């Protein structure tokens, strides 16, 4: 999805969040349980933007009548290089309702898991605060 890609590449996390549906489901490359909701997904994406270095989208694919997208990327977490893909599905309103991320190799996924795990208490607090402020 062009708008998501451009917002991520520009570091415009408010624009990224605006593209998420309220009931978006984020599926992490390193955690089995999906994360439902805009607040937690946005908080995770903000943290990832701090963890990934040298992030770059390399390819964009579209299918499913324009509702399914795949954005192939490369990045670094510390000394570990990784490649991955953001799989995006949009709802009837053009908002992202599913975001699944996959990364490889295993050493890159492990570095990502460790870096995100160290931030997860703050991620959860941010999401909780955002949910409370919109209720």
Distance separating alpha carbons of residues 45 and 53, to the nearest angstrom: 14
Q: Is residue 135 part of a domain?
A: no
How many whole angstroms from its chain centre is CA 35? 11
Say how many domains are in the chain. 1
Q: Is 3 left (phi over 0), alpha (psi -120 to 50) or beta?
A: alpha
Distance separating alpha carbons of residues 67 and 100, to the nearest angstrom: 14
The domain of 15 spans 2-130
Q: At residue 135, does pLDDT exceed 80? A: no
SS3 10: helix
SS3 99: strand
> Over the stretch 34-92, which tens digit does the pLDDT of each residue have?
999 999 999 999 999 999 999 999 999 999 788 999 999 999 999 999 999 999 999 99
> What's the pLDDT at 66?
86
Q: Is residue 29 part of a domain?
A: yes
Distance separating alpha carbons of residues 16 and 8, to the nearest angstrom: 7
| Overall average pLDDT of the 92-108 stretch | 97
Q: Is residue 30 part of a domain?
A: yes
Tokens of 75: 């990045």
> Over the stretch 20-36, which tens digit does the pLDDT of each residue have?
999 999 999 999 899 99
The domain that holds 10 is classified in CATH as 3.10.450.50
């Amino acid at each position: 999805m062009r708008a998501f890609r451009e917002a991520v590449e520009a570091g415009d996390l408010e624009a990224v969040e605006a593209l998420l549906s309220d009931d978006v489901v984020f599926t992490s490359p390193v955690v089995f349980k999906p994360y439902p909701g805009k607040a937690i997904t946005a908080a995770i994406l903000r943290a990832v933007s701090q963890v990934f270095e040298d992030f770059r989208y390399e390819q964009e694919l579209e299918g499913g009548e324009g509702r399914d997208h795949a954005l192939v990327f490369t990045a670094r977490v510390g000394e570990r290089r990784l490649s991955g893909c953001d799989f995006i599905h949009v709802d009837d309103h053009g908002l992202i309702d599913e975001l699944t991320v996959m990364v490889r190799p295993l050493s890159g996924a492990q570095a990502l898991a460790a870096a995100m795990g160290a931030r997860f208490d703050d991620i959860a607090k941010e999401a909780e605060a955002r949910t409370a402020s919109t209720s």
